[in-house]
Amino acid sequence: MDRLLGRSTLRRHLTLAVLGMLVVVVVLESTGPFRNAQFASMAYYGIAGAGLTILIGLNGQISLGHGAFMAIGAYTAALMLQGGDPLPLPVILLAAALVTLVAGAVVGVAAARLHGPYLAGATLALAVAVPGIPVYFSGTLGGEQGLNVRVPDIPPWFADAVFFVTGQDMSRSRYLGYLGWFCLVVTFVLLANLARGRVGRTWRAVRDNEVAAELAGIDLGRARVLAFVVSATCAGLAGGLLALSARIAAPSGFTLTLSLLLLSAIVLGGLGTLTGALIGAAMLTFVPQLVTGLGQDLGLTDVRAAELAPLTYGLVTMLVVLFAPAGIVGGIRAAAARRRAVKTSGTSKEARKDEAMDEIRGVTGDRHPGGGVRRG
């Protein structure tokens, strides 16, 4: 891997990003409007999941309120798209992310002082509370019906550029797919660099041992608030994209269920890993169709068959927590590490020690045997 992509972290991530974008172009161009729309929703689930997995896996804070942050981003975008002549979409998405950043900072300052179940309960209250706000201010925020969102026209230069490369005309759902995946790739590169660098090391140090982190000169509160803000901003961006894809921002779209499904997705993928967030997003997007079809074959009505998807997520979440807390990505990494350890018997002791450390931590994030804290 190292030989293939180079040793510099930034170069490796950028190479991966360009490769990823190429895959996106091929996939989006070779599929129809329905799949395009599905990929667009996979992108926003991926972005929100990435933010949440960084917060839980790397910093050890739990949030059940990310659905609420997505709602803030979605309503910001929807409000800015109300007029006849809206701003360009990148500006709107950036604004959605920034407004959520501010909200995340407010919540994060309070959250930084809470732990485990207290933090879970407080963010749970947030998830339940936020959908009530647009109902109360129904004049500006549209009440129960929500705000309809009109997707602006595709910029001609973009349609021309894509036509030049692929020779195909741009449809609206494909445009949204491109937009979502571009945002996802940018977000992932930023988050990957953040997680690899000093900030990420600080977060992990705070997660693993507060006292040691504080002794090493880390400001616990600042590290926690920063992690929360970064995470909430991702959710806000995802919310903006959701409003565009769903063409509506309504309270019913941001129930407690959304926050819980997001959590179960990243638990399955593997907490603390961006790849895991992507796997989780794919699960949230493609599993419903699969199991609903299965349920209909078994003779269930449409409405009841639709409940099979959350049932699957919930069961999988429980099984993962009980039997494989590292999730899919963590499990693969551990298996690979074991194989390496067997090959070079000299390091097997070290590998065993690593596993024991993971076992102690319980929540397995990025593997970082060195794990030391450096003050830069």
Partner 1 sequence: MQQLITTVLTGLTLGAVYAAFALALVLIWRATRIVNFAQAPMAMITTYIALVLIDAGMSYWVGFAAALVSGLVLGALVERFVIRHLTGKSEINAVILTLGLFIVIHALAALIFGARYRSFPAPFGLRGFQVGDTTIALTGFGVFTILSVVGVMVLLVLLFRGTDVGLRMRASAFNQEMARLLGVRVGRMLTLGWALAAVVGSLSGLLIAGGGLVHPSYMDGVVVYGFVAAVLGGLDSPPGAVAGGVILGLSLSLVSGYVGSELVPLASLVILMAVLLVRPGGLFAQVRERRV
Residues in touch with partner 1 (CB under 8 A)? 56, 60, 62, 64, 110, 113-118, 120-122, 124-126, 128-130, 132-133, 135-136, 255-257, 260-261, 263-264, 267, 300, 303-304, 307-311, 313-315, 317-318, 321-322, 325, 361-363
Residue 207 sits at φ, ψ, to 5 deg, of -65, -45
CB of 326 to partner 1, least distance (A): 11
CB of 125 to partner 1, least distance (A): 4
When the beta carbons of 17 and 109 are compared against partner 1, the nearer one is 109
DSSP structure string for 190-238: HHHHHHHSHHHHHHHHHHH-HHHHHHTT--HHHHHHHHHHHHHHHHHHH
Q: Which amino acid is at 376?
A: G
Q: Catalogue the E-assigned strands of the chain.
A: 147-148, 248-249
DSSP structure string for 158-195: HHHHHHHHH--PPPHHHHHHHHHHHHHHHHHHHHHHHH
CB of 197 to partner 1, least distance (A): 24
When the beta carbons of 14 and 110 are compared against partner 1, the nearer one is 110
Q: What is the DSSP letter of 145?
A: G
- Name residue 373's beta-bridge partners: none
127: tokens are: 């998830």
CB of 308 to partner 1, least distance (A): 7
When the beta carbons of 1 and 303 are compared against partner 1, the nearer one is 303
CB of 257 to partner 1, least distance (A): 8
Q: What is the DSSP letter of 173?
A: H
CB of 94 to partner 1, least distance (A): 27
CB of 40 to partner 1, least distance (A): 24
When the beta carbons of 20 and 310 are compared against partner 1, the nearer one is 310
When the beta carbons of 116 and 369 are compared against partner 1, the nearer one is 116
Separation CA 376–CA 370 (nearest Å): 16
- Name residue 249's beta-bridge partners: 147
Determine if residue 146 is left, alpha or beta; phi over 0 gives left, psi from -120 to 50 gives alpha, anything else beta.
left
Q: Give the torsion sign (CA, 124, 125, 130, 136).
A: positive
HSE-up of 217 (CA within 13 Å, CB side)? 5
When the beta carbons of 239 and 272 are compared against partner 1, the nearer one is 272
Separation CA 306–CA 275 (nearest Å): 27
Which of 248, 6, 206, 212 is CA-nearest to residue 112? Answer: 206
When the beta carbons of 278 and 291 are compared against partner 1, the nearer one is 291
CB of 110 to partner 1, least distance (A): 5
286: tokens are: 């493609």
When the beta carbons of 55 and 149 are compared against partner 1, the nearer one is 55
